[in-house]
Structure 1
Amino acid sequence: MHAVFDGHNDVLLRLWQNEKKGGDAVAEFTEGTDKGHIDLPRAKAGGLAGGLCAIYIPSGDLVLKEPDANGHYVTPLSEPLERAPSLDIAMEMASIALRLERAGSWRLCRTMTDIDHALADDKFAAVLHMEGCEAIDADLTALEVFYAAGLRSLGPVWSRNNIFGHGVPFAYPMSPDTGPGLTDIGRELVKECNRLGILIDLSHITEQGFWDVAKLSDQPLVASHSNPHALVPVARNLTDKQLDAIRESKGLVGLNFAVTMLRADGRENADTPLSDMVRHIDYLVDKLGIDGVAIGSDFDGALVPREISTAAGLQNLVDALQKAGYGGAELAKLCRDNWFRVLRSAWHDTENA
């Protein structure tokens, strides 16, 4: 079994939502459930050793548009969120992450040494990520607090606009060049992330925002859960020009398991073959090299192929990649080592260099 480190999941969102309905987040993750994609038993069954776990503030007004007869759709961007309730929700999700660590259900990792120790101890290595920074104030004061709590990765925007920048809509077919990029405050956020050692994730930002970050950041360019636009022209996917820039920066793209971003027809259909996932990996490896491709499942945030279904099915993808000709050393890079390289660089972590 190849251990997998996943670049993006929304398990904290699912646990938070179920806790709001009276559930117990720690028990649900630790003991297992039939809900969603990730819990500790299913992670162990599928070789999921850890990953970037997102604090994401849901947009209640977002309703995905039904495709027309040609499969085309454009979902308008969600309305911007207010900061105060966003901060409350972010704190509640961070609390769940901290409680899971206190219960011994996972290890909240702030350095590569933490990740190494977690894996050696057979503990789920969780890294706190923020998907859309609505909880962060314009003065970036809250960023320091979340950093102290363990935040080590963030995407300035989700697929909506905020004070830091502009997001891409869920649309097919559409270019990611859908609007402006970073705001002045967003540029300050990038600089502060560089200073602190917080990974900057470009998965939901407009193409202009991507180039704004590329000009400012001293980190490798990373899109934690995105796929090639040349294969599936949804606005969320990356153009070849963006992939070229990621390669030049020694960055990384994590394969998103969302079927709408894998299927050539862009449809939401779980009967999406593993061959579609392999096709995307092959394309990314061709554009980025074997060192620039990883996993960014979007578990608990998207409909994934039925042959994967949950974290317990991860080895089905690994087996498909092996059958497609990827050897042991290549699989180790795709499954975890490429993420470790990029995190080490973004975090200024020299202990494991």
Structure 2
Amino acid sequence: MIPVFDGHNDLLLRLLEAPEKRREIWLTGEGRGQLDLPRMRAGGFAGGFFAIYLPSPVAHDDADLMAQMANPPYRLPLPALMDATEAADPALRAASLMLWMERASEGAFRICRSAGEIRAAMAEGVIAGIMHMEGAEAIDADLDALHAFHALGLRSLGPVWSRPTIFGHGVPFAFPSSPDTGPGLTAAGKRLVAECNKLKIMIDLSHLNEKGFDDVAALSDAPLVATHSNAHALCPSSRNLTDRQLNIIRESRGMVGLNYAVSFLTPDGRKDPGCGWAPMLRHLDHLIERLGEDHVGLGSDFDGAEIPDVLGDVAGLQGFIGAMRDHGWGEDLIRKIAHDNWLGVLERTFGA
């Protein structure tokens, strides 16, 4: 079994939406979702980024949005900006739930704040968790809350989750579309990048539009990382990265984690969970060609996306490893993609 370190999941959202079921969801599994502690162990899930993601306060018709995404072309409207005061409470509750996960696991799961802590946890057979914020709505313009969340364990942050923040603009969910969909970082966003660099908080480029991407690339002194994004050349979704962007990430010695969401994998943008392993392997091939084999990993989007049926959930990860072997890759390359490359870029970001 090859351990897998993962760039993105939304388990905290499931816990946030059903806190009364948190023990069942996390410790035993409730027969739903794609992640829980027993299935992580079964699939060789060694650790990853656990996202603090906040649903928009205004309800929308999920069924209608899913129907539109199932039949491209589409361009979905973005929710309105959330104020930091309304975002602070749910973000703090999500962070608190991750701290609870560590306590409730009785040693099976550990929040890690450095690359060295991740390596130590993996060596002990303990699942390593990085606290990540997907969209910086809970961070105020003065960045005081950034320091508070950093003290809680935050080590990775995406300035946006598609909807706008006071820091920048995300891409809409659109197909076909380039990621060049709006203006770049605001003045507050540029201060956020500088402060994240000082605190050694990784900046996640997934969901950020192209001009914002370019602003981060110009300002940041850390490797450029997109935790859960795919190749625009193979699937022209606004959420995917162009070859130009991939070249910039390569030059920074950064990293891209493959997103398993079928609508960002298939060439026609359709939600086809019966697509098999082939689209995932094609995107990995393209990312390796553009970035080099030391800068590509996995970024599942478990519990946040519809994924290929052949994978199913986190327990199916070793099946994906088997598909890589069948694809002709050697063990060294598979280990790089499965976990070594993530550990490398985190050492370059956090320090050893």
TM-score greater than 0.5 by the shorter chain:
yes
- Mapped pair 1:83 → 2:89: no
Q: Distance in 1 between matches of 2:152 and 2:70?
A: 48
Residue 346 in structure 1 maps to residue 339 in structure 2:
no
Q: For the Cα contact (< 8 Å) 2:70–2:270, is it kept in 1? A: no
The match for 2:252 is 249
* Partner SS, residue 146 of structure 1: helix
Mapped to 1, the partners of 2:290 and 2:185 lie a distance apart of 26
Q: Secondary structure at the match of 1:291?
A: coil
CA separation in 1, counterparts of 2:277 and 2:292?
A: 21
Q: CA deviation at 1:123?
A: 1.4
* Residue 133 of structure 1 pairs with residue 136 of structure 2: yes
- What is the Cα deviation at residue 100 of structure 1? 1.3
- Poorly superposed stretches of 4+, deviation over 6 Å: none
The 5 A counterparts of 1:67-106 are 67=68, 71-103=72-104, 104=106, 105-106=108-109
Residues 122, 65 of structure 1: alpha-carbon distance in 2 compared, 3 angstrom cutoff: closer
- 2:15 and 2:152 mapped to 1: Cα distance? 19
* Correspondences of 1:172-321 after superposition (within 5 Å): 172-321=175-324
* 2:11 is aligned with 1:11: yes
Conserved in 2, the CA contact under 8 Å of 1:26 and 1:96?
A: no
Deviation string 1:182-238 (CA, Å, 9 cap, x unpaired) is 000000000000000000000000000000000000011111000000000000000
- Shift in CA distance, 133/68, structure 1 to aligned 2, threshold 3 Å: closer
Going from structure 1 to structure 2, the CA distance change for 1:284 and 1:68 (only over 3 Å counts) comes to closer
Is 2:40 aligned against 1:48? no
Aligned-CA RMSD value? 1.4
Q: Is the 8 A contact 2:230 2:240 kept in 1?
A: yes
2:131 aligns to what SS in structure 1? strand
Q: 2:54 aligns with which of 42, 52, 57?
A: 57
The C-alpha deviation readout for 1:53-75, integer Å capped at 9, x for no partner, is 00000124455264499720000
> The residue matched to 1:214 in structure 2 has which SS?
helix
- Answer whether contact 1:190 1:217 (CA < 8 A) is retained: yes
**What's the TM-score once normalised by structure 2's chain length?**
0.96
Render the CA deviation track for 1:255-286: whole Å, top value 9, x for unaligned: 00000000111112211210110010001001
Separation in structure 2 between the aligned mates of residue 245 and residue 181 of structure 1, nearest angstrom:
17
* Consecutive unaligned residues in structure 1, runs of 5 or more: none
How far apart in 1 are the matches of 2:208 and 2:120?
Answer: 33
**In structure 2, do the counterparts of structure 1 residues 89 and 174 end up closer, same or farther at CA, with 3 Å as the change threshold?**
same
| Native 8 Å contact 2:24 2:30 kept in 1 | no
SS of aligned partner of 1:266: coil
Distance in 2, matches of 1:61 and 1:174, equals 25
The answer to whether the 8 A contact 2:70-2:271 is kept is no
Change (3 A) 1:304 1:133: same
Structure 1 residue 14: Cα displacement: 0.9
1:332 aligns with 2:332: no
Larger mean CA deviation between 232-241 and 101-110 belongs to 101-110
| SS at structure 2 position matched to 1:125 | strand
Equivalent pair of 2:205/2:226 in contact (CA under 8 Å): yes
Q: Deviation of residue 173 (structure 1)?
A: 0.2
Q: Is this contact kept in 2: 1:170–1:236, CA < 8 A?
A: yes
How many Å separate the matches in 1 of 2:180 and 2:304? Answer: 23
Letter of the structure 1 residue corresponding to residue 39 of structure 2: R
In the TM superposition, residue 121 of structure 1 has moved relative to its aligned partner by 2.0
Say if 2:28 is the partner of 1:31.
Answer: yes
Letter in 2 for 1:154: L
Of stretches 58-67 and 258-267 in structure 1, the one that deviates more from structure 2 is 58-67
In 2 relative to 1, CA 68–122 (structure 1 residues): closer, same or farther, beyond 3 Å? closer
Deviations 1:18-67 (A, max 9, x none): 21xx32x2442122221211111111111111100000001244552644
Q: 1:32 to 1:195 in 2, by over 3 A?
A: same
The alignment of Structure 1 onto Structure 2 pairs a total of residues equal to 346
Q: Provide Cα deviations, 1:66-97, integer angstroms capped at 9, x if missing partner.
A: 44997200001111112222110011011111
SS at match of 1:129: strand
Counterpart code for 1:122: G
**3-state SS, counterpart of residue 290 of structure 1:** coil
1:165 alignment partner AA: G
CA distance in 2, matches of 1:147, 1:239: 31
